[in-house]
Amino acid sequence: MAPTFDICIRGTGIVGRTLALLLARERLKVALVPAPGQHSAATADVRAYALNAASRSLLESLRSWPDAEHATAVQHMQVQGDQDGCVHFNAAPQGVEALAWIVDVPALEERLAQAVRFQPLVEVEDSPVASPLTVVCEGRASTTRAEFGVHFDVTPYAQHAIATRVRCEHPHGQVARQWLSPQGILAFLPLEGVQGNSVAVVWSVPEDRVSGLMALSADAFAQELQTASQQTLGNVQLIAERATWPLQLAKADRWCGTTSAGNAARSWVLAGDAAHNVHPLAGQGLNLGLADVAALAEVLRTRDYWRSVADLRLLRRYERQQKAALAAMGLATDGLQQLFARSEAPWQALRNWGMKGFERSGLLKDFVARQAMGMR
């Protein structure tokens, strides 16, 4: 007999695997199905994520947190404007171990894949299976989302992200650094632990600069990074390939619903990038996705005994909760992107005045820091 499943998760990335493990912990039988076209990349993955304390706690509870060499604690964060505006965040005054952890994507994916292999209630299937509930975790390019008739409202930014990794002349000192200007938003994220001198680079640049930067030799591109980073860490050398993708603000109009399959009515729900995208300047994309699956798993865990996992009332509760959480982050990242995309002098003066005021704001600055760390 073909196995029966309580839930089918489409998408085997970090968000999908995390949800599968959370649901299996509640004794639910889960089918995990790769997204169409999802496969191992031919080149090394250069991405790294800034994960907050809430995300770390969630992954540790699933025994999927990477080793220390693949999860570098951020003790300080420096954000530099295009004049003298600057904002600093420090872990010690907040009474926390770290502001965030910069995590290697391949290392995290391998830990989650290993946990899935040892979880008997999760089975990886080649194609979607019938189940009362389907959870779509396929990412921003989800095809299943369209199958369910969901409109994905996309606002493209006139920017692309360029990601790579570099080795720096000076150690990073566990400091995450960011430079904001109309020419681009550059982030240096510390890697390789306390004594490391390598950083993950995420550079959001105007789309008319992308092809030229990607065509540069490794040495010439490194020179551009040195200039944009004001040579804060000295000379830099590329140690990885470059990857690029367009940036967008996007949100699905519906995050849950029902569909008919034969004579049975079944439910579906979206999570992670399949439901929403924000600008990466705040480094919150994966944190939002992991918050989605934690909230969905909690709603299903605490349901009344007589309710099915496919009960639309439960799924709408999850949708309302996570849409509210997303709204503030979406507004903040979009507002900052729009503010720093303007090159006119009045806007330059306004944003640098605002950064200096925020640096001195005390309670407001502490509140923002704790929100970003996932401490509600």
Q: Are strands 264-270 and 184-191 parallel, antiparallel or unpaired?
A: unpaired
CA distance 300 to 32: 18
Q: What is the pLDDT of residue 124?
A: 95
Q: CA torsion 81→84→197→72, rounded to 10°? A: -60
CA angle (285 as vertex; 280, 290 as ends), nearest 5: 165
Q: What is the pLDDT of residue 278?
A: 87
Tens-digit pLDDT string for the chain (376 aa): 456 999 999 999 999 999 999 999 999 999 999 988 665 555 668 888 999 999 999 999 999 999 988 999 999 988 887 767 777 888 887 778 899 999 999 999 999 999 999 999 999 999 999 999 999 999 999 999 999 999 999 989 888 999 999 999 999 999 999 998 878 889 999 999 888 899 999 999 999 999 999 999 999 999 999 999 999 999 999 999 999 999 998 999 999 999 876 556 689 999 999 999 988 766 788 999 999 999 999 999 999 999 999 999 999 999 999 998 887 666 666 666 666 666 666 666 666 666 666 666 666 556 666 666 555 5
Nearest to 175 by CA among 187, 186, 183: 187
Q: What is the pLDDT of residue 344?
A: 65
In sequence order, what DSSP letters do the residues of 122-141 get, joined into one string? EEE-SS----SEEEE---TT
96 to 64, 71, 100, 282, 294: CA distances (angstroms): 21, 16, 10, 19, 22
- Our measurement of the distance from residue 70's CA atom to the centroid of its chain's CA atoms, rounded to an integer in Å, reads 17
CB-based burial label for 44 (10 Å; 0-12, 13-18, 19+): exposed
- Taking the model in full, what pTM does it have? 0.88
Task: Name the amino acid, one letter, at 102.
Answer: I
Q: Are strands 76-80 and 86-90 parallel, antiparallel or unpaired?
A: antiparallel
What angle separates helix 345-359 from helix 312-340, to the nearest 10 degrees? 120
Residue recorded with tokens 């290993």: 114
Element (H, E) at 206: strand 198-206
| Interior/surface letters 248-285, b for 16+ CB within 10 angstroms, e for the rest | ebbbbebbbbeeeeeeeebbbbbbbbbbbbbbbbbbbb
Q: What is the pLDDT of residue 341?
A: 62
Q: Say whether 96 sits in a helix, a strand or coil.
A: coil
Spatial contact of 66 and 101, defined as CB atoms under 8 Å apart: no
